[in-house]
Amino acid sequence: MSKIKTFSKGGIHPQKYKITSDVPITDAGIPDMVVIPVRQHIGAPAKILVQKGDKVKVGTLIADADGVVSADVHSSVSGEVTKVEDAEAGSGYYEKMITIKVEGDEWEENIDRSPNVVREISASPEEIIEIVKQSGIVGMGGAGFPTPIKVDVPSGKKVDCLIINGIECEPYLTADDRLMQECAEQIVIGAKILNKALGIQNAIIAIDENKPKAIEAVQKITRSYVGVNVQVCATKYPQGAEKQLIAAVTGREVPPGCLPIDVHCVVQNAGTVFAVYEAVQKHKPLFERVVTVSGDAVNNPANFRVRIGTPASFLIAKVDPQQDVGKMIFGGPMMGTAAINKEAPVTKTTSGILLLKQTSVVDPVVSACIRCATCLDVCPQGLEPFAIANFVRNAEYQEAKKIHVLDCIECGCCSYSCPARIPLLDFCKLAKYEIRKKK
Amino acid sequence: MLKVSTAPHFYSPVDTRSIMLNVIIALVPAGLAALVFFGLNALITMVTSVAGCVVMEYLVCRYWFKVPSTTSDLSAVITGLLLAYNLPCNMPVWMTLIGCFVAIVVAKMAFGGIGKNIFNPALVGRVFLFISFPIQMTTWLKPKIFDFLNVDASTSATTLTLLKHIDSSTSATMLSAKEGGLPQYWDMFIGNVGGSMGEVSAAALLLGLLWMLYKKVITWHIPFFYVGTFFMLNFIFWLSTDSQVFDPLTQILSGGLLLGAIFMATDYTTSPMSVKGKIFFAVGCGVLTFVIRNYSSYPEGVSFAILIMNAFVPLIDMTCHSRIFGTGKKQKEK
Amino acid sequence: MSSLILYNALILAAIAVVAAVVLYFAAKKFYVKPNVLAEEIAAILPQANCGACGSAGCQDFANKCAAASEEDFRNLYCPVGGKDVMAKIAQKLGYQASSHEKTVAVLRCRGNCENAPDKVEYIGLKSCRLASRVFVGKTGCPNGCLRMGDCVRNCPFGAIEMDPKTGLPRVDTEKCTSCGTCVGICPRGLYEIRPVGNNGVRVYVACNNQQKGALARKNCKAACIGCMKCTKVCADVTVENNLSYIPTTVDAEQYGAELAANCPTGAIIYTGKSNEQN
């Protein structure tokens, strides 16, 4: 086995809390009603194709990608469209959503529902890209960047390395971990499919050290697939961040303002690769995903296979939550967003729903910066968060830009480790918003 | 009621208070050594100094700034301890209190409190006392192991004073000075020599350093490069002049060098933040200490060296930055 | 001894002469001819450098004034200095002073602690601009005030302060120069620059919520629900996206009291003869 790799600078070691890594993925079931947002990705919202009263099946296209940076949205249930209007998202804002009342579970005919694994890749590279596009696949790690754009290499650019991101460095989350344990072969086939689309021969599946079972499961499969290898990475946050992962696996660093493609790499999340497999081999568009429901206010944390659009409350009811829930987080505790609406739907990018106890949600007392330089040491991007914070306090956003605040990957290492509890990441984010606004 | 917050939703268990607590723990061995060698006097000075610093910080917060007191972060305790370690054990109490006043009120709070001072408060306090009361500040009691009351107080010269003496004299006195006693390495290592309370025992200070490195309170750069620079300069001069003055080991083990390199120069607020900056800073301290010790009228140069370099910290911070990810020499096209 | 003094004196004198020569030529070389008129106008200006006039600071405005023809000058106005300052500048230039009305920033939200109680607690950097991107706000209103005071911290004239009773920022009409900083800084765009009105009598809709009535009322008792009642009082009032807007042309003294009285939620604020404001 090759050496354990990691990125060179910064990073932290938060408590892992991977309490669900041995809990098998179970079907969450179908709720009475699903609410599907038309914007579950970075870019323009999809154009709605259905009207109130329309009947839809599982897998029916209900919203069409609007422009290049956008993604299709499919129905995750069968039934009747009851509302096509703004509904409350997790943040409390109202967004365009399609509400579907569930009637039965009727799937589109061409979807292969059999459990057998399809190993033969019959689609041509162009067909693969087209299928990925029509299946509405986006990066399922959290950012939601439409996958077709990443797979469709622009002319003049060269790709020599496909990295499958199985790191999942956020505490609590185990969705990708479980998926790799249970569906290792599908992920490896998915990697081969992407290989074909990209026109290269090799793929590296990066998994971090603290998932021995996933490593074992994937390694068992990769023995019989040429070109797909497992790379074990050190357990360190933010190992799963795209730029840090490329640095760890290949030693190449993505320059500021550039994309992974500029260092000839394509990174895909393990869940996304699984979705690619299902789309290409089983004709199944992206309408369900694995979600970890966990947290210290949950008695029976679990990994669920969830239809997109399922309200969070439906899942929460299944895990036996405690009474004193203080915070609900969509995503991981390091980069996820706190939500105020328990009816908010699961989207393509929701990797977990965490419930934290009232007592474990404390308002940190902010004290003065003691110039301990911890934020410099932990920043994986080599930034100086304390200096950025000082500039933002004085509204000197252009100065903050000069010290590269735009390279911040918002991993939260600085805020996490600041002994004075200064919300350094908040300052960085504010600077980024203000600089982008001025443009 | 649900709570909403910005990411991250977790915090590291390390906070300002726990960092300061670790520094205090690291200071304990040196304090114990001081008690062993200087007895009750040392305890009185330490208690006075710590109490003085804490009370003054509290008063300033309450009645001048009119904000909640910041004494609970324990930084004033460290300032007090470090100030005490920089004083001879038989310091009159009122002088110690003056030192506390200068350290806390003038050097720390007047600049805005923790994190905003330019100069190391304990060192400013010490230097103020050193200039104001040179006699008391350079009258060192002979260490007496486990004699707590230290009744028959006889004074002794520090190693550095002896070295200074050699420097300005003929070879005849050099011999006599040697007979009169440059201390042995071992005595200097465990602390059985005259000097300020906290600086005598190199062993205790090194224990503290190991603790702070283990707890990741400080990085190794400043102590290493400070002592390393100083060692190299002495070594070069020792080889080229063959003068006992430059004996590198004696130079390092004597005076406040280790105390300064481990506890004073590494003070967060008054040292640079980037690694590059820390190395610059430490090398500067080493060179200045060497120059002041050997070419000025003072026998000791650590305090002045660190204070002078403190003044350069903002400049160093402005010029030394860490490498931005994806830029710089590590970037090679494959 | 005396020769020592002499030498010292001579050397110092020589240095002084050399330095003086260098300074003389430097001053000649780098001399910038001042625009006397612009300097004089700049001296009249408030020197707040707020940019409310549209120029990059007071000096720039002064330069523009100095170079302007009488016609161009009419378009120049310093909202901070107001009529008095403009009259002085006009006098300096020998032009006719233009007639501008004094304006003031008003907050179009009444979502105070009572009307719109907190539904969640917020932890993090207290900044409206950041918080508005994280979530909808403590009150649940997607268009209302976030009550974290970015406007208070950024007002260059200290004219806005947080009212601890209501939780909302309050504009001091006297101090406000309508420089427009708050208009730009508020992530919800709640501030509007409106004429102070005769004797401070003005009327405006203190709500920015564009949701449907029931939804708006769910979060805030004082929300505009788009009921159109105000349009019946005065035909100039418009309702768009469930939100009423009273144009500045509506005569506050004539319609104000009636508009406010007819609003079922109290979203319309009418300032009477005194300068009171909620």
Give the number of C-alpha atoms closer than 13 A to the C-alpha of residue C107, restricted to the C-beta side.
30
Q: What is the CATH number of domain C103-270?
A: 3.30.70.20
* Contact at CB, B6 and C134, closer than 8 angstroms: yes
Range from A349-358, B80-89, C219-228, C266-275 carrying the lowest mean pLDDT? C266-275
**pLDDT score recorded for residue C169:** 93
Using a CB–CB cutoff of 8 Å, tell me whether C133 touches chain B: no
d(CA C121, CA C111) in angstroms, rounded, equals 16
> What architecture does CATH give domain C36-93?
Orthogonal Bundle (1.10)
For residue A90, how far is the Cα from the chain centroid?
16
Interface of A with C (CB under 8 A): 91-94, 337-340, 361, 363-364, 395, 423, 426-427, 429-430, 433-434
* Contact at CB, B11 and A429, closer than 8 angstroms: no
Average pLDDT of A357-377?
89
Assign B173 a pLDDT band (cuts: 50, 70, 90): very low
Query: A with B: how many residue pairs have Cβ under 8 Å apart?
Result: 148
**pLDDT score recorded for residue B153:** 53
C278 pLDDT above the threshold of 50? no
d(CA A146, CA A269) in angstroms, rounded, equals 12
**pLDDT score recorded for residue B178:** 43
* Contact at CB, A430 and C120, closer than 8 angstroms: no
d(CA B209, CA B30) in angstroms, rounded, equals 11
**More confident call, B114 vs B185:** B114
Cβ B166 vs Cβ B177: under 8 Å: yes
**More confident call, C178 vs B54:** B54
* Contact residues, chain A, for C218 at CB < 8 Å: none
In terms of DSSP bridges, do strands C121-123 and B3-5 run parallel, antiparallel, or are they unpaired? parallel
Amino acid in position B305: A
- Tokens 């039934």 belong to which residue? A79
- Specify the DSSP class assigned to residue A308: T
Chains that touch C (3 or more CB pairs under 8 A): A, B
* Contact residues, chain B, for C135 at CB < 8 Å: 4
d(CA C80, CA C45) in angstroms, rounded, equals 9
A80 pLDDT above the threshold of 80? yes
* Contact residues, chain A, for B274 at CB < 8 Å: 373, 376, 384
d(CA C257, CA C248) in angstroms, rounded, equals 15
Helix (H) or strand (E) holding A317: helix A312-318
Using a CB–CB cutoff of 8 Å, tell me whether C7 touches chain B: no
- Mind giving me the DSSP string for C191-256? EEEEE--GGG-EEEE-----S-HHHHHHH-TT------HHHHH-TT-EEETTEEE--TTS-HHHHH
3-state secondary structure chain B: CCEEECCCCCCCCCCHHHHHHHHHHHHHHHHHHHHHHHCHHHHHHHHHHHHHHHHHHHHHHHHHHCCCCCHHHCHHHHHHHHHHHCCCCCCCHHHHHHHHHHHHHHHHHHHCCCCCCCCCHHHHHHHHHHHHCHHHHCCEECCCCCCCCCCCCCEECCHHHHHHHHHCCCHHHHHHHHHHHCCCHHHHHHCCCCCCCCCCCHHHHHHHHHHHHHCCCCCCHHHHHHHHHHHHHHHHHHHHHCCHHHCHHHHHHCCCHHHHHHHHCCCCCCCCCCHHHHHHHHHHHHHHHHHHHHHCCCCCCHHHHHHHHHHHHHHHHHHCCCCCCCCCCCCCCC
For residue C37, how far is the Cα from the chain centroid?
28
- pTM for the model: 0.87
Q: Which two tokens stand for residue A79?
A: 């039934």
- Quick count: other Cβ atoms within 10 Å of Cβ A181? 20
**More confident call, A157 vs C16:** C16
Helix (H) or strand (E) holding A64: strand A61-64
C228 pLDDT above the threshold of 80? yes
Using a CB–CB cutoff of 8 Å, tell me whether B333 touches chain A: no
* Contact residues, chain B, for C123 at CB < 8 Å: 3-6
**pLDDT score recorded for residue A293:** 95
B48 pLDDT above the threshold of 80? yes
Please say whether the dihedral angle defined by the alpha carbons of residues A251, A255, A259 and A263, taken in this order, is positive or negative: negative
A393 pLDDT above the threshold of 70? yes
Interface of B with A in 158-177 (CB under 8 A): none
C25 pLDDT above the threshold of 90? yes
Helix (H) or strand (E) holding A245: helix A242-250
C229 pLDDT above the threshold of 50? yes
d(CA A20, CA B164) in angstroms, rounded, equals 69
Average pLDDT of A336-361?
91
Cβ A102 vs Cβ A33: under 8 Å: yes
**More confident call, B275 vs B171:** B275
* Contact at CB, C134 and A337, closer than 8 angstroms: yes
Chains that touch B (3 or more CB pairs under 8 A): A, C
* Contact at CB, B3 and C122, closer than 8 angstroms: yes
**pLDDT score recorded for residue B333:** 45
Nearest to A255 among B2, B321, B326 (CB): B326
**What is the rounded radius of gyration, in angstroms, for the C-alpha atoms of chain B?**
21
Of A235, A162, A188, A165, nearest in space to A12 by CA: A235
Distance (Å) of CA B47 to CA B79, B91, B129, B137, B152: 12, 12, 18, 18, 23
Amino acid in position A352: G
> What architecture does CATH give domain B16-319?
Orthogonal Bundle (1.10)
User: How close A430 comes to chain C (CA, Å)?
Assistant: 6
Express each pLDDT in A295-337 by its tens digit: 999 999 999 999 999 999 999 999 999 888 889 999 999 999 9
Express each pLDDT in B290-307 by its tens digit: 999 888 888 788 999 999
Work out the mean pLDDT of chain C and round it to a whole number. Answer: 85
* Contact at CB, A93 and C142, closer than 8 angstroms: yes
**From-to residues of CATH 3.30.70.20 in chain C:** 103-270
Percent of chain C with pLDDT over 90: 19
B331 pLDDT above the threshold of 60? no
Give the number of C-alpha atoms closer than 13 A to the C-alpha of residue B280, restricted to the C-beta side.
19
**pLDDT score recorded for residue C276:** 46
Nearest to B9 among A12, A255, A329 (CB): A329
Cβ A35 vs Cβ A93: under 8 Å: no
A189 pLDDT above the threshold of 90? yes
* Contact at CB, A92 and C154, closer than 8 angstroms: no
Express each pLDDT in C203-226 by its tens digit: 899 999 988 888 888 888 889 998
User: How close B283 comes to chain A (CA, Å)?
Assistant: 19
User: How close B174 comes to chain C (CA, Å)?
Assistant: 39
User: Would you call the peptide bond into A238 cis, given omega within 30 degrees of 0 as the criterion?
Assistant: yes
Average pLDDT of C61-70?
83
In terms of DSSP bridges, do strands A25-27 and A302-307 run parallel, antiparallel, or are they unpaired? parallel
Enumerate residues 6+ apart whose C-beta is below 8 A from C214: C225
d(CA C146, CA C167) in angstroms, rounded, equals 9
Work out the mean pLDDT of chain A and round it to a whole number. Answer: 91
Of B135, B146, B121, B133, nearest in space to B49 by CA: B121
Helix (H) or strand (E) holding C88: helix C82-93
